[in-house]
Amino acid sequence: MEKSNEQLRPGLWATVNERYPGSMITKDSFVPLAQLGKPLSESRFSFVSTAGVQRRGTLPFDTVHPVGDYTFRRVPSNSKPHDLEIHQLKYPTDGAMQDLNVIFPIERLQELAAEKIIGGLTTNFFSFIGYNMDAERFEKTLAENLAEAVAAEKLDAVLLSPA
């Protein structure tokens, strides 16, 4: 735990909106999460992460753009960590570079599926970067496109993980 605390910058929370401009979105249209309709052992899972994880050799996320990147990447769920890389400027990636599972638990999910604790995994997982300053564009493009791509995987549940 002490190691984790060292990765947090002093006063991080006080400056979070200046580090991630536009991140403090206020929405009134709260939508409750859907209920799982079948047992875990019969449910097909996907995984969506803001960790900026992508297959090696694919177009890197645009970490230098001042207004952010509104694209996502498909990450094959049978990938090995060495098949993947991280392009993300805004969170400490040291731990994830040592073991990708701490931020993108792909091997843990593969194990849960192999042990039949969950029913299976979608062909692809999904990732994008969390630096998106244009909230309206985020909602109308990235979120819509991503939701459509996830739904096309014919799944029962999706795990959402911020980085």
Partner 1 sequence: MKDEYNCLSSLISYSSLIPLPSALKDMSLAYLKEAVEQNDIEKLIRYVRLHFGDGNEETGRKEIDKAWVEALKLMLDLPATDREFILEIVATRDAATLAHLYFSLHFYFVKRSGEWIHDGEI
Contacting residues toward partner 1, per CB under 8 A: 7, 9, 14-19, 21-34, 48, 52, 60, 63-67, 86-93, 133-135, 138-139, 143-144, 146-148, 150-151, 158, 160, 162
Q: How far is residue 5's CA from residue 77's CA, in Å, rounded to a whole number?
A: 30
Handedness of CA 9, 126, 61, 18 (dihedral sign): negative
What's the closest the beta carbon of residue 4 comes to partner 1, in angstroms? Answer: 13
What's the closest the beta carbon of residue 110 comes to partner 1, in angstroms? Answer: 22
Q: How far is residue 144's CA from residue 149's CA, in Å, rounded to a whole number?
A: 9
**Closer residue to partner 1, CB minimum distance, 94 or 115:** 94
What's the closest the beta carbon of residue 105 comes to partner 1, in angstroms? Answer: 18
Q: How far is residue 161's CA from residue 138's CA, in Å, rounded to a whole number?
A: 17
**Closer residue to partner 1, CB minimum distance, 115 or 136:** 136
Helix (H, G, I), strand (E, B) or coil at 159: strand
What's the closest the beta carbon of residue 34 comes to partner 1, in angstroms? Answer: 6
**Closer residue to partner 1, CB minimum distance, 1 or 14:** 14
DSSP-assigned beta bridge partners for residue 55: 84
Write out the DSSP string of 59-73.
PPP--S-TTB----E
**Closer residue to partner 1, CB minimum distance, 107 or 134:** 134
**Closer residue to partner 1, CB minimum distance, 75 or 103:** 103
Nearest CA to 78 out of 134, 144, 16, 124 is that of 124
The set of residues, in sequence order, having a beta carbon less than 8 Å from that of 74 and lying 6+ positions away, is: 124, 125, 126, 149
What's the closest the beta carbon of residue 10 comes to partner 1, in angstroms? Answer: 11
